């Protein structure tokens, strides 16, 4: 499609969002009411040195084409909590090809913006965190069953779908598959480069952060279970953020991120992380090895650690009880498990959470 024909057929409105993968615009006119378009432009290089046999846009084009294909593929199931793709096409833009993805029922904004508005009294009601968690898990269960991990679950990628006849009824739709990766063996993740970070830092699972750190410091990292369960960790972080009003782990780099996890969840001690323990101890992210002088604790510290080990209780769980059910808190305990082998799948987490909030809106009076 030519750029002129594209601009004539699709009357672009205001910009709704901008990310590393593209820009989302509202569409005007009765024909496309309630629809948005995501434009993914393949821009030319900044210098001639970067232009090697047209490679300047080929990688961008491959990523954009993959996102369009996956969005269209997942949308065929008409899942209630996945974004619906109406069409995908390539536009001959003035500076290079533009991949356009036409999406429906996305005019309610994002969970990030809505939750912020609720906290500041600019939106009615309150967010039902149990419903947010359940609907996110429903979407992830479908994506994982299709053979993919989303790899970028966050409030900005959870769109709100309003019911036209009842604006106070709002449901979630998961969107943006620009970071999605195929699952290869079971639920393991297929990486092109094991040293590349996946997921937005605030929602990045510990096995992702630790694998990259160990690779970058030289030497092959043991397999730590990087797979579909990174999305489960991220979904738990989203639910916690709805209650706390801020990201649970607000760090941009891997080492401080892991330290923030230790502060909230306690250090990793699960057997599945045995191969990583020397690295974790080196960075003071795990208890000292038994028998070393540093392992000697006071009587008070021993009592505190014993109580937490026995009950699993930490201040975080008490803070979360203020905004979600006890059953949801118990579900989050296993969604935020350090070792992926002991962490919930999307399906098992949804099973523990129960089915009574599955179809309900995310708002409560």
pLDDT in tens, 22-60: 888 888 876 777 788 899 887 665 555 544 444 444 577
pLDDT in tens, 256-311: 999 999 999 988 876 667 778 888 888 888 777 665 555 455 555 555 554 454 44
What is the length of the chain?
A: 365
The average pLDDT across 140-145 equals 95
H helices present in the chain, as ranges: 3-9, 55-75, 111-119, 129-145, 206-216, 229-244, 254-265, 277-282, 299-311, 315-320, 326-335, 346-353
pLDDT in tens, 83-140: 888 899 898 888 788 899 998 866 567 888 877 776 776 665 677 899 999 999 999 9
Average pLDDT score, the chain: 79
| Region 3-104: CATH code | 3.30.200.20
pLDDT in tens, 334-348: 999 988 888 999 999
Predicted TM-score (pTM) of the model is 0.85
Q: For position 350, what pLDDT does the model report?
A: 93
| H or E element in which residue 84 lies | strand 84-93
Domain ranges, ordered by start, for the chain = 3-104, 111-364
Domain 111-364 CATH assignment equals 1.10.510.10: yes
More confidently predicted of 241 and 280 = 241
Q: For position 197, what pLDDT does the model report?
A: 66
């Amino acid at each position: 499609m030519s750029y002129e024909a594209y601009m004539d057929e699709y009357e672009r409105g205001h910009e709704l969002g901008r990310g590393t993968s593209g820009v989302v615009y509202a569409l005007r006119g009765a024909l496309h009411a309630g629809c948005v378009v995501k434009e993914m432009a393949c821009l030319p290089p900044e210098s001639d040195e970067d232009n090697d046999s047209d490679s300047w846009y080929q990688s961008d084009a491959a990523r954009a084409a993959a996102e369009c294909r996956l969005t269209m593929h997942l949308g065929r199931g008409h899942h209630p909590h996945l974004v619906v793709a109406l069409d995908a096409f390539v536009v001959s833009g003035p500076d290079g090809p533009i991949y356009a993805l036409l999406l429906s029922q996305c005019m309610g904004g994002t969970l990030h913006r809505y939750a912020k508005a609720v906290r500041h009294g600019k939106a009615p009601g309150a967010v039902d965190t149990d419903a947010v968690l359940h609907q996110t898990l429903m979407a992830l269960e479908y994506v994982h069953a299709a053979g993919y991990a989303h790899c970028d679950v966050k409030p900005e990628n959870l769109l709100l779908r309003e019911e036209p006849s009842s604006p106070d009824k709002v449901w979630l739709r998961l969107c943006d598959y620009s970071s999605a990766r195929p699952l290869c063996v079971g639920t393991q993740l297929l990486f092109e480069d094991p040293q590349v970070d996946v997921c937005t830092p605030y929602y990045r699972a510990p096995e992702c952060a630790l694998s990259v750190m160990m690779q970058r410091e030289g030497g092959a990292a043991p397999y730590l279970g990087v797979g579909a369960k990174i999305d489960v960790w991220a979904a738990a972080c989203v639910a916690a953020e709805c209650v706390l009003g801020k990201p649970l782990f607000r760090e941009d780099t891997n080492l401080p991120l892991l330290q923030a996890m230790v502060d909230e969840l306690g250090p990793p001690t699960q057997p599945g992380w045995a191969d990583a323990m020397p690295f974790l101890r080196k960075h003071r992210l795990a208890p000292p090895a038994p028998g070393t002088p540093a392992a000697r604790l006071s009587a008070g510290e021993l009592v505190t650690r014993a109580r937490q080990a026995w009950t699993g209780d930490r201040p975080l769980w008490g803070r979360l009880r203020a905004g979600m059910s006890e059953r949801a808190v118990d579900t989050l305990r296993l969604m935020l498990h350090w070792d992926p082998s002991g962490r919930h799948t999307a399906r098992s987490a949804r099973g523990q959470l129960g089915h009574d909030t599955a179809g309900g809106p995310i708002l409560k009076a």
